[in-house]
Amino acid sequence: MKKTLVIGLVACCLLALLTAGCRQENTPKTASGDEAERPAFLQIGEFAVHRISPTRTEVRDGAGRTLVLVPRDAPMPTDCPPNQVVRVPVQRIVAYGFFDIAVLRALGVLEDSLVGVTTPKNRWYIPEIVRGMQTGKISYVGDAAAIDYERLKQVEPELVLTWDPSIIPLLDDLKIPAAVTTTPTAMCLNARMRFVQFLAPFFHKEKEADAFFARIDSALSEIRARTAAATYEPKVMWGDIYEKRVMVEPGNAWVGELVGLAQSAYQFKDVFGTSCIEITVERFLYSGKDADIFFTYRSPDMGATSKAALARMNPLIKDIKPLRHGKVYAPLPHYSQSADKLDDILLEISAILHPEAYPNYRLRYFTELPDADPQPQEEKSL
């Protein structure tokens, strides 16, 4: 159960309209009054990118640390510690999270730059990573909670992308720069879309990042247009009950914002905090009394094969409305590794909330759970 909880928490943390914590970039003006080709300062949720000069860019990561990006052949800056300097474009990178790796894929640098991951080969669905691990180009450097630092040092990364700030002192000792890619507050929808623009300067892929953002923005425009005339607003909940904890996506997370954007009511819109935040069992069950749609964190390979299966794992939820009269959706195993297809994922969630606006839509990232698991063939023949 502990392993299932850890996998579930990682998966849900991989689940990110503006809020106070999601400010827009400040675009400078040229002498003529026109906007410059590229803003000198970008605010992306709690992340920031500041172009100081053509040879120096400063970024603020999720832990509030400043990293200085300089060309590979430039002199070492003397006004900051060496462990905060990153040579760009980065050519060798180790990444912890599925989301970060999917963003690398969106930038087109995954296959050339990724040299280490914290997930074993048998749990990958991204073809480039499977191939890279088969050929030895990409190494497994240990579980995220128990990194093999000798192995990490052997792969000679120029940058580590991590969600764990506690490893920074160890990486400093190894003289390996690192960027923390999560924050104490969940990513809002705008930050989730723009995070690609935070990683882009590490690889000189700003144009690719802008194109990715434009693609997602176009998908949101389509969602607004398709759901504008909706007369029915389904009530939605997203989370799960584990052995000792109840975790949900807060209203400030991208999930909650998307539900509202798609003319639906999010049951945890008043909950604020980190992605996969803990709430009480009573609150979860209260919200489930009149919810219409329930998104569980558990995928079918984690036991979410039917409503009955969920009820067996979590007897407390057997009477919530989605399990009795509503709909329950589980993410397919490859969903958490598909953030480079964020536009498709957003459209699919919208199609689930308003199937009348998406006739003949076929699910690719989620599956609707049946009431019960199908009987084995031999039992049917008896």
CATH superfamily of 232-368: Nitrogenase molybdenum iron protein domain (3.40.50.1980)
DSSP letter assigned to residue 283: H
Assign domain 19-24+37-206 to its CATH architecture: 3-Layer(aba) Sandwich (3.40)
- Cα gap 40→53, rounded to integer Å: 9
Distance CA 159, CA 91 (A): 9
**Bond from prior residue into 177 cis (ω within 30 degrees of 0):** no
Report how far residue 56's alpha carbon sits from residue 204's, in angstroms, rounded to the nearest whole number: 12
Q: How far apart are CA 162 and CA 179, in angstroms?
A: 6
Domains 19-24+37-206 and 232-368 share a fold: yes
Residue 378's pLDDT is what? 54
Per-residue pLDDT reduced to its tens digit, 303-326: 999 999 999 998 999 999 999 999
Cα separation of 66 and 21, whole Å?
18
What pLDDT score does 27 carry? 39
Q: At which residue do the structure tokens 């990561």 appear?
A: 61
pLDDT band at 222 (very low <50, low <70, confident <90, very high): very high
Give the pLDDT band (50/70/90) at residue 243. Answer: confident
pLDDT at 4: 45
Contact between 104 and 160 under an 8 Å Cβ cutoff? The reply is no
Nearest to 160 by CA among 136, 142, 133, 186: 142
Residue range 341-359, pLDDT digits in tens: 999 999 999 999 999 999 9
pLDDT higher than threshold 90 for residue 21:
no
- What are 278's strand-pairing partners? 247
Task: Provide the pLDDT for residue 37.
Answer: 62
In the chain, which residue ranges form alpha helices assigned H by DSSP?
A: 2-13, 98-107, 110-113, 127-135, 149-154, 168-173, 189-199, 206-227, 254-261, 281-288, 307-313, 321-324, 342-353, 377-380
Show me where the domains of the chain are located. 19-24+37-206, 232-368
Q: What is the pTM of this model?
A: 0.88
What number is the average pLDDT over the span 220-232?
Answer: 95
